[in-house]
Structure 1
Amino acid sequence: MATGTLTTERILEATEEMLRRHGAAKATVVDVARALGVSHGTVYRHFRTKAELREAVTKRWLDRTSQALSGIVSGTEEPEAKLRHWLAGLFAAKQHKAGDDPELFATYTVLTGENSGVVDRHIADLTGQLTAIIQEGVTRGEFTAPDPASTSRAVFDATNRFHDPAYAGEWSKPGIEPAFTAVVDLVLRGLRR
């Protein structure tokens, strides 16, 4: 394959496939290059180090969730419905990531541990989305929150069991959906004016 057709996106797709196949401990830049039909030096022209490549693929994986949820934030639902929908969307996204491809989820759990800055930015993006929803509710007189940013972080922390990978083992257990609904109902009762 010619170097001119090699894009960052194609490298990230190939990296994700190598991570799926070999796991975080065994996937190498050489594997990625081989899958793309280029030399590993060509991959290094796009990503200076293996760590930079792993960080980029981790960011790409996390950004999928943020992007999906951003549509809810900009939607036309009332703030309470929007918040409920957003929290359910986050939970569903995490359940799918863990349940649909457990090997890749385990690999990304390792990668997120290596890339705490990427994770911190992801959490900041998610709590920023929550802040926008809560601020909208305050502006419309539906929610009470003296500091929407602090409140959004509290909501994020209160629902941690339903999106933190440390709890992934619980996400498919019986009773998890009613537990999620009970926590969301509690959060919404606390926010209502």
Structure 2
Amino acid sequence: MAPTSEPLTAERILEATEEVLRRHGPAKATVVDVARALGVSHGSVYRHFRTKAALREAVTKRWLDRTSEELSGIAADEDRVPEARLRDWLEALFRAKRRKAGDDPELFATYMVLAGENGTAVAEHIGDLIAQLARIVRAGVDTGAFAAADPDRTARAVFQAGGRFHDPCHARAWEKPGVEDDFAAVVDLMLRGLAAR
């Protein structure tokens, strides 16, 4: 990233940090590298992020939030029936994770390391995703489409049942032949299990 005369903001620092991480990886990337990419002193970066760990956590959260934001529109779309909303949400999650792993494998590997360091950001991300699922399940219960005594618990179970298709530890399997068919079969099974009798 070339230095500019734009004001130094947290967002600019996070963008530069992402580029530095892509180039150097998490083991070698430093705050000095980020500052150099921005054309500022490392002290300027520290004014926005007090520690290297805080900067790494913020860039991890930003990366995870992109997926949450993409999915939140589906979860909130009350014009769609809950079954379609749930299927679309799960498909969008799978697509987003596959895209991140396949389009930029170096950055994906970096974020795997950062996510391991930042349990709080990951836990918040998972909590947000499960809350989105709970909203969909609750809508299904309210319309009589789903049977779930505890929508929050059911949402957690749906999230965990689909783990093979969104947990980054399974990323290698996402490009294997037949994975789309496996995904569709799991989603069909979930929807049958949720259906009101």
Sort the TM-score into its range (normalised by shorter chain): over 0.9
CA distance in 1, matches of 2:184, 2:4: 52
Q: 1:2 to 1:185 in 2, by over 3 A?
A: closer
Q: State the identity as a percent.
A: 67
Which residue of structure 1 aligns with residue 170 of structure 2?
167
Structure 1 residues not aligned, in runs of 5+ = none
* Cα distance, 1:151 vs structure 2: 0.2
One-letter code aligned to 1:33? A
One-letter code aligned to 2:100? K
CA distance in 2, matches of 1:57, 1:27: 13
2:52 corresponds to 1:31: no
Q: Is the 8 A contact 2:85 2:136 kept in 1?
A: yes
2:95 corresponds to 1:92: yes
One-letter code aligned to 1:50? K
CA distance in 1, matches of 2:4, 2:109: 33
* Cα distance, 1:57 vs structure 2: 0.1
2:118 to 107, 115, 136: 115
Q: Is the 8 A contact 1:24 1:107 kept in 2?
A: yes
Which residue of structure 1 aligns with residue 144 of structure 2?
141
CA distance in 1, matches of 2:184, 2:176: 15
2:76 corresponds to 1:74: yes
Q: 1:2 to 1:97 in 2, by over 3 A?
A: closer
Q: Is the 8 A contact 2:164 2:170 kept in 1?
A: yes
Give RMSD over aligned pairs. Answer: 1.1
CA distance in 1, matches of 2:143, 2:64: 31
Normalized against structure 2, the TM-score is what? 0.96
Which residue of structure 2 aligns with residue 63 of structure 1?
65
2:153 to 150, 155, 161: 150
Q: Is the 8 A contact 1:131 1:152 kept in 2?
A: yes
CA distance in 2, matches of 1:32, 1:81: 43
CA distance in 2, matches of 1:133, 1:58: 26
1:11 to 13, 17, 21: 13
Which residue of structure 2 aligns with residue 52 of structure 1?
54
* Cα distance, 1:94 vs structure 2: 0.2
* Cα distance, 1:4 vs structure 2: 7.3
Q: Is the 8 A contact 1:3 1:42 kept in 2?
A: no
Normalized against structure 1, the TM-score is what? 0.98
* Cα distance, 1:56 vs structure 2: 0.1
Structure 2 residues not aligned, in runs of 5+ = none
Q: Is the 8 A contact 2:4 2:38 kept in 1?
A: no
Q: Is the 8 A contact 1:3 1:38 kept in 2?
A: no
CA distance in 2, matches of 1:2, 1:172: 39
